[in-house]
Amino acid sequence: MTALTALRILPCGDAALTVEFGADVDPAVNARVLGLDAALGSAAVAGVLETIPTYRSLFVQYDPVTTGFAELAERLRELAGTSRPAAASGRVWSVPVVYGGEFGIDLDAVARSHDMDTAELARRHAVAEYRIYMIGFTPGFAYLGGLDPAIATPRRAEPRAHTPEGAIMIGGVQACVQCLAAPSGWHVLGRTPMRNFDPGRDPVFLMAAGDGVRFRAVPARDWAALERDAARGAPVAELAAS
Amino acid sequence: MSVIAVEQAGPATSVQDAGRFGALRYGLSSAGAMDRLSLTAANALVGQPADAATVEIGPLSTRFAVRGGPVRIALVGAARDIACGDRRVALARTLRLEPGDTLALRPARGGVYTYLAVEGGISGTPVYGSLSVHARAGLGSPIARPLVAGDEIPVGSAADTPGERRLDLPPAERGPIRIVLGPQDDYFSADQIATFLDSEWRVAPASDRMGYRLDGPRVAAARGHNIVSDGIANGQIQIPGSGQPLVLLADRGTTGGYPKIACIVSADLGRFAQTPPGAKLRFAAVDVDAARALAVAWRATLDGVAARVERDAGSGPSSESLLAANLAGSAVNAFDRDTWSH
């Protein structure tokens, strides 16, 4: 467990703060973030409005009329001292992915950069057990830990102005499930028809920080049918208990 | 049910209320009105809740037409010439419009956004409790994107109560935009922070609801421009590798990987957002305790707006009272260029 003395609580203006458990991407640090997030969720602390668990810190939005920085920071220190690092959420998503070709335009180049054939690279990406460290940047964009270090790949020198909805990408030691189309410097290995964010569906969001993720390779001929199901509001990704 | 039809709209006009809360953890920022005081005041005039949906009208020429039934509206925010047919329309007053009437707004002067509130409100289907358009997320109702000519907004019909209402806004805050340093101010040397605090900044043309870029001296980060991505508050000022500050606003990404030198206090977010491209501004640092005191006073200001609404004695037909209303209309403009010079 990271020493509590390493904990830093810093202001983000007058209505938010961040509780930092460390400066690095580290599963143990992230587990402490999620542990405090869960503890804060059940403690019902006056003035706390919402939170963003991130890799190494918990962002807390609060009402400055109800509580102040020093008062809230003290309460969060207590909770951080007593909360346990979060175990996995117990939810694991099995996410269908079409690898390569028009769905994963960087798969060949990434495989070549590791002297692997494309099937091997896709296999190594799919078999790893991932965990969602955080959701951020754009709605439903899930940052994953757990990428096989043998296929970690530095980001592209020139970011692309457009990567598609559902892009399955890697960048450095990170992996992701992207939901909305966005610019990115990450490598596109494949694409999922799953829509983590769909404002017309209940629930609007599927994945949460702390959930597990596995990838399931599906053939390109299945894309159209899966995409139709997703458009009708089906989750497409299967949810299993870990 | 009445309809407000869009006949002309610039690129930055959309339905906005007080914002969407509860989905930050899923990567969805709040959206919502860029200028909360003007939103609150416009709604108060037409008897709507402070956080109700309005049309946030961007700085360019915009024209609406009323169809179906009469509507009662109020406009608050950036000063601009506004006409209904031959009649000049003042800010911060209610006005009843009949089917067939048009409302033509000229470009904003010295501000950015003007808010159009409607008696009976805008009809739509909320997501996470809000109708606010979040363009990048494809969210918002009744139209999930910025408005364009041809769009029709279903709104409440004007009540049959006689007489119009007016509102004198509290005096505009002047002086520098107050900020709280952090959370990554330790990425910057004392000299770099001094550069940030002591310089005059101009809002760059490449600015929108996601964020405003600032032109001025380069602010380098002594410890580099990459951090492990963390959460971003509304008004947070990040310094990317270019050294050009970017102030992240209502439609921002929820997390980011550049160091954040400071964050604008809630009370000053609206007047910052009303700073047009090219206008100058400065920052002043306050500590968290002073920032909280500002937040408490700001809440009281917002809560006190509805009590400032009064009968508009100048709503009769006399040209004298119309002139008085127009003069008062310019006096209540909180966002003229003078607000931003020191």
Distance CA A167, CA A156 (A): 15
Residue A61 and residue A98 share a domain: no
- When pLDDT is cut at 50, 70 and 90, the band that residue B342 belongs to is very low
Whichever domain contains B267, its CATH number is: 2.40.100.10
Residue B131 and residue B27 share a domain: yes
State the average pLDDT over residues A196-214.
94
Residue A10 and residue A36 share a domain: yes
Domain-located, residue B339? no
Residue A208 has pLDDT above 50, yes or no: yes
Q: Which of A82, A102, A133 is the last residue of a domain?
A: A82
Number of alpha carbons in the 13 Å side-chain half-sphere of residue B50: 14
Residue A159 has pLDDT above 50, yes or no: yes
* pLDDT for the residue A240: 82
- When pLDDT is cut at 50, 70 and 90, the band that residue B320 belongs to is very low
What angle do the packed helices A69-82 and A27-43 form, to 10 degrees?
110
Chain A residue whose CA is closest to B28: A139
Q: In A, which residues are within 8 Å of B264 by CB distance?
A: 13
Q: Which amino acid is at A91?
A: R
Taking only the tens place, the pLDDT of each residue in B29-74 is: 999 999 999 999 999 999 999 999 999 999 999 999 999 999 999 9
Q: Where are the alpha helices (DSSP H) in A99-169?
A: 107-113, 118-127
Q: In A, which residues are within 8 Å of B181 by CB distance?
A: 11
Residues 6+ apart with CB under 8 A from B71: B2, B4, B96, B97, B118, B119, B120, B155, B156, B157, B158
State the average pLDDT over residues A174-190.
94
Residue A115 and residue A69 share a domain: no
CB burial string A40-74: b at 16+ within 10 A, e below: beebebebbeebbbbbbbbbbbbebbebbbeebbe
Whichever domain contains A132, its CATH number is: 2.40.100.10
Domain-located, residue B172? no
With tokens 């608050």, the residue in question is: B76
What mean pLDDT value characterizes chain A? 93
Residue B99 has pLDDT above 80, yes or no: yes
* pLDDT for the residue A237: 94
Residue B314 and residue B256 share a domain: no
Residue A164 and residue A210 share a domain: yes
Whichever domain contains A71, its CATH number is: 3.30.1360.40
Structural domain including A48 reads: 4-82
Residue B64 and residue B31 share a domain: yes
Residue A77 has pLDDT above 90, yes or no: yes
Q: In A, which residues are within 8 Å of B179 by CB distance?
A: 13
ipTM of the complex: 0.92
Domain-located, residue B342? no
3-state secondary structure of B56: strand
Domain count along chain A:
2
φ, ψ dihedrals at B203, nearest 5°: -70, 130
Residue B289 and residue B235 share a domain: yes
Residue B195 and residue B144 share a domain: no
Residue A98 and residue A63 share a domain: no
Residue B64 and residue B48 share a domain: yes
Residue A229 and residue A159 share a domain: yes
Q: Which of A18, A47, A82 is the last residue of a domain?
A: A82
Domain count along chain B:
2
Structural domain including B214 reads: 177-298
Residue A153 and residue A73 share a domain: no
Residue B185 and residue B60 share a domain: no
Which of A10, A14, A180, A202 to probe by mutation at the B interface, max B CB count within 10 Å?
A14
Residue B16 has pLDDT above 90, yes or no: yes
* pLDDT for the residue A173: 87
Q: Which of A82, A101, A122 is the last residue of a domain?
A: A82
Residue B8 has pLDDT above 70, yes or no: yes
Residue B206 and residue B121 share a domain: no
Residue B45 and residue B151 share a domain: yes
Domain-located, residue B337? no
Residue A146 and residue A98 share a domain: yes
Which of B127, B141, B226, B229 to probe by mutation at the A interface, max A CB count within 10 Å?
B229
Distance from CA of A18 to the nearest CA of B (A): 7
State the average pLDDT over residues B79-84.
97
Q: Where are the alpha helices (DSSP H) in B221-276?
A: 266-273
- When pLDDT is cut at 50, 70 and 90, the band that residue A178 belongs to is very high
